[in-house]
Amino acid sequence: MVQGLKDKFEQVFGEREEMRYYFSPGRINLIGEHIDYNGGVVFPAAITLGTFAAVSPREDKQVNLYSGNFASVGVVSFDVADLGRKEDEPWTVYAKGVMDVYQKAGYPVDKGFDGYIEGNIPNGSGLSSSASLEVLIGLILADLNRFSITGAQNALLAQKAENEYVGVNCGIMDQFAIAMGKEAKALMLNTDTLDYTYADCDLGAYQILIMNTNKRRELADSKYNERRAECDAALGLLKQVVDIAHLCDLTVDKFDEVKHVLTEENLLKRTRHAVTENARVKAAVAALSVNDLIGFGALLNASHDSLRTDYEVTGMELDAIVDGARSLAGVLGARMTGAGFGGCAIALVHEDALETVKNQVAIMYEKAVGYLPDFYVASIGDGAKKIQEV
């Protein structure tokens, strides 16, 4: 991989004496969707798909970036002293945003570099390609500018860049899982306190099948910010009758007691999803801890049903691919993962049934929506890191 990155870098920028290499993964969220901005507990994991970078430091303050995924854009150049957002900013908006927030946070981001960046996360798939890039840039900045930063700090600054520079009001889960991931471990993360524990993710003879609907979901253009606003509105009403800071501070029983103040149906449904999903995460972690894969699969199904009915973020494509998988032998459960409105779903599938499930889901999905999905078997891997130099 490193030699391939070096070769591609040199095709764009020519040979360099000093080269450095980095990797930042994508993520899947096993369960706990749309609650990372509601103070909930989530259960994501880093995966072995991700974003790679080959970087050479410069003596000046110019940054030259090229993406193998957006080759038609060519090299994008800017100065670390001028990180203002341009109206027609391409993919580099994420990189510039991270540099901007690091500078404003007082970090010495003053060294330019040439960078070749390429990822194998499908764009728009909901596997967090943008967060992967943001965390990657933070890692590069710390290394080139010789300052120390923890994975948690990198995640928080990456989230800040997406919120304030890019303009997407995302929660912390994606960046945190990407920065802090560990091989064969999932993260149980309290998104309010940022307390976290690693949990073994031993699925025995079952594997996580990622099912890409191939319907792109553009987070900034979706109803994501609308859902956040609805949750904020519901929280404001609930605070009149109960002392909470976040929707997920409510237990299911307490929600039943106070839900009468949510007279608007949409606000009631959004809150019910947040509260019940938070409970499902805790139940899922407990189920995995005793190898109750049947119980874990049932919780995946319940999560998708709630996202479909109460949060209304699935859509025809995700519902078709999840329903198709659920109908087949060897599948213990399936749900959308990510923000929704397209992108990917995951299914817990017995290894002996993988090929049959992929073939049968593809047939059913194409019949329902008119085109084929893609499939990947997810391996849970390490978080963002510098990789071997050559």
Residue in the structure block whose two tokens are 């990917």: 344
CATH number, domain with residue 289: 3.30.70.890
Same domain, 155 and 227: no
CATH number, domain with residue 80: 3.30.230.10
Same domain, 174 and 234: no
**Hey, which bits of the chain come out as E strands?**
20-31, 41-57, 62-67, 76-79, 113-119, 185-190, 196-200, 206-212, 331-337, 344-350, 374-378, 385-387
Full-model pTM: 0.89
Q: Which of left, alpha, beta for 209 (phi over 0: left; psi -120 to 50: alpha)?
A: beta
Same domain, 186 and 217: no
- Between CA 383 and CA 360 the distance in angstroms is 33
Same domain, 318 and 195: no
Give the pLDDT score at 390: 44
Same domain, 242 and 353: yes
- Over the stretch 176-207, which tens digit does the pLDDT of each residue have? 999 999 999 999 999 999 999 999 888 999 99
Residue 107's contacts (CB-CB under 8 Å, 6 or more residues apart) are 141, 142, 145, 147, 149
* Interstrand relation of 20-31 and 41-57 (parallel, antiparallel or unpaired): antiparallel
- The verdict on whether 374 is a catalytic residue reads no
Name the residue range of residue 293's domain.
200-378
Question: How many distinct structural domains can be found in the chain?
Answer: 2
Choose the catalytic residue: 174, 249, 310, 319. Answer: 174
**Hey, which bits of 120-269 come out as E strands?**
185-190, 196-200, 206-212
Tokens of 183: 């091989």
Smallest Cα–Cα separation from 383: which of 210, 208, 183, 201? 183
Give the pLDDT score at 379: 87
Give the pLDDT score at 339: 84
Same domain, 112 and 43: yes
Same domain, 327 and 268: yes
Same domain, 61 and 190: yes
Q: Which of left, alpha, beta for 143 (phi over 0: left; psi -120 to 50: alpha)?
A: alpha
Same domain, 195 and 210: no
Give the pLDDT score at 222: 61
Same domain, 183 and 320: no
Same domain, 157 and 210: no
Same domain, 43 and 181: yes
**pLDDT mean values, one per 10 residues, the chain (390 residues):** 90 95 95 94 94 96 96 96 90 96 95 96 78 97 96 96 90 93 94 92 92 75 82 98 98 98 98 98 95 97 98 95 98 93 94 98 98 92 84
